[in-house]
Amino acid sequence: MRAPGRAERIADAGPGPGIAPVGAVPGDLTRLQILRSLGTGLRGLTEAEAGDRLARYGANTPPALRRPSWPLRYWRGLRDPFTTVLFCLGLVSALVASWGTACVILALVTVSCVLRVHGEHRAERAGAGLRALVAATASVQRRDAPGARPRVREVPADDLVPGDVVRLAPGDVVPADLRLLRARGLTVQQAALTGETAPAPKHPVDAPDAADGPHVCFQGSSVATGSGTGVVVATGADTRFATVGADPRARGRERGPSAFDRSVHGISWILIRFMLLTPPLVLMADAVLRGRGLATLPFAVAVAVGLTPEMLPVIVTTCLARGASLLARAHGVVVRRLPALHDLGAVDVLCVDKTGTLTLDRPTVDPDRTDPEALHWAGVAAWWTLQSAELPDPDPLDEALLEATGPEDWEAYDGIDALPFDPVRRLATAVVHGDGPGGGLPPVLGPRRLPAVHTLAVKGAVPEVLERCALGDAERARLLVRAERLAADGVRLLGVATARRPARARAYTPADERGLTFQGFVAFHDAPADTAQDAVRELAAQGVTLKVLTGDHPATAARICRDLGIEPGEVVLGADLAGLAGPALAERAAGATVFARCTPADKARVVTALRSRGHTTGFLGDGVNDLPALRAADVGVCPRDGVDVARESADVVLAEKDLTALGHAVAAGRTGSAAIASYLRITLSSNLGNVIAMLAAGLLLPFLPMLPAQVLVQNLCFDAAQLSLAHDDPGEEGRRRPTVLRPRAFLRFITGFGALGALADLATFGVIALVLPGALGEADQAGFHGGWFTENLLTQALVMLLLRSGGRARTPVRAAAAGLAVVGVLLPFTPLGPFLGMTAPPAVFYGLLALVLGAYAALLVLLRRRPVRARCRAARP
């Protein structure tokens, strides 16, 4: 069967009379066939046709991310394990008519959800303030009516439609996917799509063999040099810009549980099992030993609440929201997803895209590998090509040449003519006259004042320049080998040559670029971002391993790594990863530092492989080609000037062009994580000790060791004091290491210190029995309750100071601990004491209690300083 030809594909292209739908235009049609299939011509559309197509195809905007509704945001907040358990305990409390407990628990759940939703909404608003359009306006050729002359006009890029004829000039952002109709010296920066820093030459191809090539300019790229005219073939969601991130082959695996989910949720479910087991155990023990049965149900619920870190959602949200607010104000970092700040603190591997993140996305002359004479003539060629050809702006290489030279190089000559860069010739030539710096005036020839000689200053691709030089084969081969050696060191080269020709009045042509004298090479390297080296050094000091994932040349990637103090090692190419999967891929990803020639899917696979090895992995990228990796990482980071869709996909946005802000964000994440770990360590150790003592007392005493209202008041006082931990500082040591909460080691920690707290409680029971003999019987229950309530709050004040992260506690923590101790001592003396079923113990009790607390504090300090505590410090940052 004969394959369908172009004519058949045009006929089948779309529903309209000869007009193909967006994205359905075959890429290998000739220019005339493309125009016919789109129902347009070289003169462009009429305004009426453009309006009809805008209504038909929609605005030229990338598909927006759907914002979750407010009810959905609250529902996501309730899905936190502890929040869910608290909600269930509140309902159980209501069922057993413990209305005070139920109201307080449900209030905590509400506050936690409100804080989380408000923080994320505020971050979303800040991110919206950074959003920029892909292209604000476009130069479009349209007609007012079918017979009218076409006029070039500026229209909003959103109003472009398939079939529009668009003109491009240097500095323009390509507003839609275009098929080129005409071009002159056109080169396009498309690093956001491909990761390559070198501008890509673009020119029309009458009969291309593929939809992707030099004849197509994609939305989101920018014009570096030259000019061109193209017809719009795709807009909105059908552009390459919009579809790269949606390509299922480029997505990789969906992001699994983040570091925050794995750490906090792992601990949560271990404790939830304890909490679910505790009430039945209390009920059964009381039924067997005391015959109280369901009468102890409120106490059993209170015991479960006592074991629950009910303020965890509030503490987590408060710590992260405070850190995010400080980052936004002080360092211009917008945290769009609050748990991402915790993930940043836990990051131990950060993958970065090179172009536009570690580098400035523009070249710089490398003086160590550049021939001085070649640099002089290259500067002359750049300046006078720009002036004589009346180009509006220099391209990145010419801009680097003009920065490396100066007026003393250019102004010693007068420009005669110029042959701008042509992607086919790959050369640019300036024709000048003059004797150069320090030279004399040219002589007079004939009736016109003409110099005796014109000088051609030629620069361009090395093979093309050498081909036009008067060199022997051996010398040309030697220079090509030298150029290959320099290129292998990660630099880009221009060849520079000159020729002296008799002065003439007629124009110069490419045929004059022959018999040249080779002057040497000009070498360029990517300029590192101003703060990149400081950021790399700071991240290394924080224990973060950097890996570079780029679509650029391997030598270029290795060179920028060496410039920044990163040892590149063996560079892995994206093609080398194609046959790897599972453990083999993970091992290769963990062992290499630089990955070059990576596709978007390659980047996502490397990130996913690193996460599979247990690394908390971040990704810093700014282009469309970085979208899959941003989505696959534990936390995605995007600079302010990244493309719009990359900023929308990132968890963290750097609002300032300062990479050291990333180090500050990591430190803030570790500070918040340390506060969360401190809360968990303090509250769970204390609560577990109290529960153990409560269960033991419940089995030994003829009355409830602590009334449900007393449990609730004690927990409220303790939790309110622990809100101060959000203002604590773990110190430099705490910020130097990634923060990871390992459930098993964490459980060993709280079990050990919880048992120590239970011993202190049991010692207190002995003191109470000594000073109040009737307190262990039903005669003086209020005295027992008052003494144990005081001891509980005092021991909780001690663990706030001694089990927290870092060195000396900050003033808010010390003040909160002192306030908690004061409440514990004074509350039984107030009218609220009898109301809660407590009376103040005698004065001698406080003296003996001080001895117990002194011994308890000494043991806490001793155990924290023992070397074996390293096994139990998984909750520490």
Active site residues: 353
Neighbouring C-beta atoms of residue 100, cutoff 10 Å: 12
444-474 in b/e form (b: 16+ CB < 10 A) is eeeeeebbeebbbbbbbbbeebbebbebeee
Nearest to 594 by CA among 551, 646, 629, 637: 551
Distance (Å, whole) CA 201 – CA 226? 10
Distance (Å, whole) CA 828 – CA 832? 7
Residues 6+ apart with CB under 8 A from 822: none
- DSSP codes, 373-441: HHHHHHHHHHHHHHHHTT-SS--HHHHHHHHHS-HHHHTTSEEEEEEEEETTTTEEEEEEES--TT--P
Tell me the two tokens of residue 219. Answer: 């939305």
Tell me the two tokens of residue 582. Answer: 């599972």
Are 872 and 745 in contact by the 8 Å Cβ rule? The answer is: yes
Nearest to 170 by CA among 365, 389, 465, 409: 389
Nearest to 710 by CA among 383, 374, 305: 305
183-211 in b/e form (b: 16+ CB < 10 A) is bebbbbbbbbbbbbbbbbbbbbbeebeeb
- How open is the CA angle 16-18-24, to the nearest 5 degrees? 75
State the DSSP H helix or E strand holding residue 631, giving kind and residue range, or none if neither: helix 627-632
* Residue 12 main-chain phi, psi, to 5 deg: -95, 10
Chain centroid to CA 395: how far?
30
- How open is the CA angle 261-265-267, to the nearest 5 degrees? 135
Are 102 and 6 in contact by the 8 Å Cβ rule? The answer is: no
- Give me the long-range contacts of 584-591 (CB less than 8 A, separation at least 24): 585/609, 586/610, 586/612, 586/613, 589/547, 589/613, 590/615
Are 593 and 546 in contact by the 8 Å Cβ rule? The answer is: yes
Instruction: Taking the CA atoms of 441, 444, 447 and 448 in sequence, report the sign of the dihedral they define.
Output: negative
